Structure 1
Amino acid sequence: MYLSRNLEQLKEYARDRYQTDPQRRYGILASSKFRKVREWGVQPARYNFWYYGQWYEAPRDDPRSCCQMNLAISEFGSQGLELDLPILCWGPDLIWNDDHWQVKVGRARLVKDPEKIRMNAYRVLPGDYFNQMT
């Protein structure tokens, strides 16, 4: 796992790493609760984004391919699908604080366990990578 605040550097790394292997998939994932992700130059897929299959499977030169890295999908679009190299845009809704995860819960809702829901959203995004961190 690599950590960076330079998205362009991460994109370049992904392209270079899999340059000779067109079957590999890489793309951008972001929490649906990361409201300011656009400020980092990341365009989130809208809630009615319907071509997730094409995003994962399209050839690299296809504008809808995840490998174009021009669109981020959320935990809702990434469930059950995997990338060889996910670039995860981590939001302020889940922060590592000394020795534990600190969950920022938004508006009060009638949700039984909002912290668990937020943790599970990040578990879905990068798959096994998050599980290695917890």
Structure 2
Amino acid sequence: MTTKRGQKNFSQGVIASSGAVRLKPEGIFVKNRLSAADWFLNEQDDVRSCHFLEDVATEFDIQGLEFDWCLVAWDADYRYVNGQFEHWKFTGTTWKRRQQEEQQRYLENAYRVLLIRARQGMVFFVTLGNAEDATRVPRTSG
């Protein structure tokens, strides 16, 4: 597919877990509503399209879709600590561990959907955190 200007039209977009609510301070709002059809199908010059990299789609919006390139925004809901993943959920003002195996599988599947969308490649955005915000504590190891 080509654009009106004759340039190659690659599909690209920012995607994140629907539970990635503490990416909001970085300008990544997973709770915003978007029209999946406008986001995925519209041309590069349409601000509603994925090409503008302004709106974030979650695993629900992109299930079954593929992109050429993805920017995957990774939050602290699925943390890699001491050689294994931990499952978390942000509730109210704090992070809580997901104890139920069903909830843990759901989170793993959400990230699996995100990680298998790109045909050409993907870039990961992982926030550094903020020492002044107890919900986004920077980690130096783990």
The normalised TM-score by structure 2 is 0.65
What is the number of residues matched between the two proteins? 107
Equivalent position to 2:67, from 83, 99, 124: 83
Higher mean displacement: 90-99 or 120-129 = 120-129
Q: Deviations over 1:61-89 (max 9, x none)?
A: 11111010000011110101111111011
1:123 aligns with 2:115: no
Name the structure with the higher helix share.
1
Structure label with greater radius of gyration: 2
Residue type at the aligned position of 2:43:
P
Please state how far the C-alpha of 1:41 moved relative to its aligned partner: 1.6
- Unaligned stretches of 5+ in structure 1? 1-19, 130-134
1:59 aligns with 2:43: yes
Name the structure with the higher strand share.
2
Please state how far the C-alpha of 1:112 moved relative to its aligned partner: 5.5
Please tell me the root mean square deviation across aligned C-alpha atoms, in Å: 2.4
- Unaligned stretches of 5+ in structure 2? 1-6, 119-142
Contact 1:86–1:126 (CA under 8 A) maintained in structure 2: no
Residue type at the aligned position of 2:106:
I
1:21 matched to which residue of 2? 8
Q: Which runs of 4+ in 1 moved over 6 A?
A: none
Contact 1:28–1:86 (CA under 8 A) maintained in structure 2: yes
Aligned residue for 2:28, secondary structure, equals coil
Please state how far the C-alpha of 1:43 moved relative to its aligned partner: 3.3
The normalised TM-score by structure 1 is 0.68
